[in-house]
Amino acid sequence: MNNKINMSALLTLSNLHGTGVAYTSRPSYDSNPWLSNEEHQSNYLTGREILIADQLPMLVHQASVTDKLTSLFELVGLEIPDNIFTFDDKYSYECLIQQLAYKDGNKILFQYPHSEDVLSNRHYGVDKDLFIALNNKSRLAEWTNNKYLPDREVINIEDFSSAMSKWSFPFVLKIGDDLPTSGGNGVMICDNNNDLELAKMKISNDQNVSKTIIIERKIEVRMNYSVQYAYSKSKGLIFLGATEQLTDTAGHYQGNHKLEHIPQAVVQAGKEIMQTAVDKGYLGVAGFDLLVDKNENIYAIDLNFRQNASTSLLMLAPMLKSGHHKFFTYISPCDNKLFFNTIFKYVQKGILFPIAYYDGDWHSDDGIKSRFCGIWHGGSKDYLEKSEIQFLKEIDTSLINN
């Protein structure tokens, strides 16, 4: 294995979880309307934590560890580690989980819970019931000790229409059951009646799986912090850092900027939440979305007791060039060859650090788009933003052809 990762990263997953644990970040193959069921997105996610897994055995889709990733890693002096177990479909994925657990004696650290048909609950790296409870948005008050909460109401879905009559715009609707969500799915921002009607349609379509809805006052945000913490018995509770989470008008994720100056009150709020989970038995990484309004009030709107997009950005910070750091994911809008060559060019320039590459051309089917995530680094915010704009122009064939 390449020891540079172990020596250079701020922290790794194996630092936290030790031996006898294997990791998978893939959502279950079971259907979940609140996670992207797009197969290639789910497969792409399996490569995102390769560089921070360290010694932890890791399940990765074969298309995420092709020669394309090898070439990108070579540009920054890295290698694909040898702790990778690859799969290519549902059957091989679930067989690997069962082999690593039942035959090899590992606990499995899941990014998202799987059914007991896939793995017995007693083989989870983090207690399954606790893991699900901590990530349930309707139980936010428990994990914040009734602090840092916007006005909110948790209702049964059959009471949704009557409850809505008591609320005025703007507000946010969220699913409130045990199904995991990601990337803003399951969150519906309602600024007007049109937004509400669209939300009602979505809720109506999925009411067979979501029994609880959260109505939450929309906060007029001055700053959106994604704060990250980690805990292990040997290292204690660690503040990893914070990023500014970027979202579009619909609340969907648009990347993260690393922040150097975080108000102590924000750090402390996150620490209190993390300590509550640790007291319940949680072990590992967690990231919390904490909003600050114009009056400096702090609101916890989402708690993710798992790795997220900020985790690699913060853990790999010592390996990045000084200056501004931004993490983002790109899906090829052009042919995969142009997409890869453009990424290669910017990594070679030393301003784009590769994290994961999902190789659409690995598949025999035509039209599978490649995906990439990385960190812009090594310059000012203005310089890197201009570089990213130029990068996007170069992969946008509609602009190239015009």
The per-residue pLDDT for range 264-323, each reduced to its tens digit, is 999 999 999 999 999 999 999 999 999 999 999 999 999 999 999 899 999 999 999 999
Tokens 């992969």 -> residue: 395
The burial of 326, by beta-carbon neighbours within 10 Å (0-12 exposed, 13-18 middle, 19 or more buried), is given as buried
Check residue 6 and give its pLDDT.
Answer: 35
- Rounded to 10 degrees, the C-alpha dihedral 350/356/358/362 comes to 80
Q: Residue 12's pLDDT is what?
A: 95
Q: What is the pLDDT of residue 400?
A: 44
Residue 7 has pLDDT above 50, yes or no: no
Domain of 337, CATH number, reads: 3.30.70
For residue 269, give the CATH number of its domain: 3.30.470.20
Which of 282, 276, 236, 286 has its CA nearest to residue 124? 282
pLDDT value for 130: 97
CATH code: domain of residue 185 = 3.30.1490.20
Position 300 in a domain: yes
| Range of the structural domain that residue 279 is part of | 219-314
Is the same domain home to 275 and 327?
no
Evaluate whether residue 235 is within a structural domain.
yes
Task: Supply the pLDDT for residue 254.
Answer: 80
From 263, 286, 314, the end of a domain falls on 314
Give yes or no: residues 182 and 193 share one domain: yes
- Give yes or no for a contact between 356 and 373, defined as CB atoms under 8 angstroms apart: yes
Residue 338 covered by a domain? yes
Q: Which of 270, 295, 314 is the last residue of a domain?
A: 314
Nearest to 251 by CA among 213, 291, 287, 286: 291
**Please, are residues 174 and 216 in contact by the beta-carbon 8 Å criterion?**
yes
**Same domain, residue pair 23 and 84:** yes
The confidence band for 3, taking pLDDT boundaries of 50, 70 and 90, is: very low
Check whether residue 188 and residue 226 sit in a common domain.
no
For residues 270 and 367, membership in a common domain is answered with no
Q: Which residues are catalytic?
A: 306
Residue 141 in domain: no
- pLDDT single digits (tens) 73-102: 999 999 999 999 999 999 999 999 999 999
Are 12 and 114 in a shared domain? yes
Instruction: Give 2 or 176, the one with higher predicted confidence.
Output: 176
- In this structure, the answer to whether residues 66 and 34 fall within a common structural domain is yes
| Residue 359 within a domain | yes
User: What is the per-residue pLDDT for 399?
Assistant: 46
* Residue 398 clears pLDDT 50, i.e. is over it: no
User: How many domains would you assign to the chain?
Assistant: 4
Give the model confidence (pLDDT) of 22-62 as tens digits: 999 999 998 666 665 589 999 999 999 999 999 999 999 99
Please indicate, yes or no, whether residues 15 and 120 belong to a single structural domain of this protein: yes
Q: Is the pLDDT of residue 128 over 80?
A: yes
Residues 212 and 228 in one domain: no
The secondary structure of 252-303 as a DSSP string is -EEEEEEES---HHHHHHHHHHHHHHHHHT--EEEEEEEEEETT--EEEEEE
213 and 292 assigned to the same domain: no
**Based on the domain organization, do 271 and 186 belong to the same domain?**
no
Q: How confident is the model at residue 368 (pLDDT cuts 50, 70, 90)?
A: very high
Q: Does residue 147 lie within any of the structural domains? A: no
Average pLDDT over residues 188-196: 94
**Last residue within a domain, chosen from 217, 232, 252:** 217
7 and 119 inside one domain = yes
What is the pLDDT at residue 126? 97
Does residue 187 fall inside a structural domain? yes
Residue 253 has pLDDT above 90, yes or no: no
Q: Determine, yes or no, domain membership for 137.
A: no
